[in-house]
Amino acid sequence: MKRYSGLSLLLLALSSGPGYAACDNAAAVKLAKAFWSEHRDFYYAEPAKVKALLTPAFFAVLSEEAKCNGEGEVCAIDADPWISAQDGEVTGPITFRLAGQQDGIVSVSMDYRFMFSETRQEPRAVTFQFKTAGDRRCFLLDDFISPGEGSLKQRLQQWQAQNGAGPQ
C-alpha cells in the first residue's frame, strides 16, 4: 500500500479546509506529478486502481480497453501513450506546468526528453486534462494527450465504436 500513500496524502490534503481552498491550479499540477509517479501504467493496468482519479467517461473507455486486452487482443493502444512509441523512454529533466484553463478543464503539461537511444533524444510533452470534480477530490483526469497522437480518450472511443466495443 506504500505505493499509493503519496497520492492518497495529496488527495487528503486537497480535501481539507473550508470550501476546498486547496483546489487551485497548483493542486492540478501536484496531481499530475503524483499520477506520473504512481500510475505510469494506467493505460494497461487494472482500471479499478485509478477509478477514483478519473472521470466516469475516461474510466469507461480505459475499462473497455482493459477488457479487450484481457482477451489477448491488441486493441486501441498499441504504443506507450507517454511516448507515443513502443520503444524508448522518458528521461529528465521532467517538468510540470499549468498549460491552460477553460470551461472547467485544467490542462497540465509534463515536459520531458524522449530517449530512443543514447544518441537519439528529443523534447516531448504530454498533457493531462483535468475536470473540476466539485467534491473533495478537486480534479479528475478526463483525458490524456499523447505527443503527436492527440486525445487518448477520443482514440479509445473511436476504436471502440469501430470495433463494436465500448460502454453500452
For residue 119, being part of any structural domain is answered with no
pLDDT band at residue 2, thresholds of 50, 70 and 90?
Answer: very low
Q: Report how far residue 123's alpha carbon sits from residue 78's, in angstroms, rounded to the nearest whole number.
A: 22
Within a domain: residue 56?
yes
Which of the 8 DSSP states describes residue 49?
G
**Domain residue limits at 36:** 2-86+129-162
Tens-place pLDDT, residues 138-148:
999 999 999 98
Whether 31 is covered by a domain: the verdict is: yes
Q: Using an 8 Å Cβ cutoff, are 77 and 65 in contact?
A: yes
User: How many Å apart are CA 141 and CA 55, to the nearest integer?
Assistant: 6
- Residue 113 in domain: no
pTM score, two decimals?
A: 0.82
Phi, then psi, of 105 in degrees rounded to 5? -110, 130
Q: What is the mean pLDDT of residues 57-73?
A: 90
Res. 166 pLDDT band, cuts 50 70 90: low
Residues for the chain: how many in total? 168
Q: What is the number of domains present in the chain?
A: 1
- DSSP-based three-state secondary structure for 33: helix
Confirm whether 76 is domain-assigned.
yes
Neighbours of 50 (CB within 10 A): 21
Average pLDDT, the chain: 85
Above 70 in pLDDT, residue 16? no
Task: Report pLDDT digits (tens) over 49-63.
Answer: 999 999 999 999 999
Determine phi and psi for 134, rounding to 5 degrees. Answer: 75, 15
Q: Within a domain: residue 108?
A: no
Instruction: State the Cα–Cα distance between residues 101 and 129, nearest whole angstrom.
Output: 9
Instruction: Write down the H helix ranges in the chain.
Output: 5-15, 25-38, 56-70, 152-162
Residue 94 lies in a domain: no
Does residue 105 lie in a domain region?
Answer: no
Closest CA to 74 of 42, 44, 41: 44
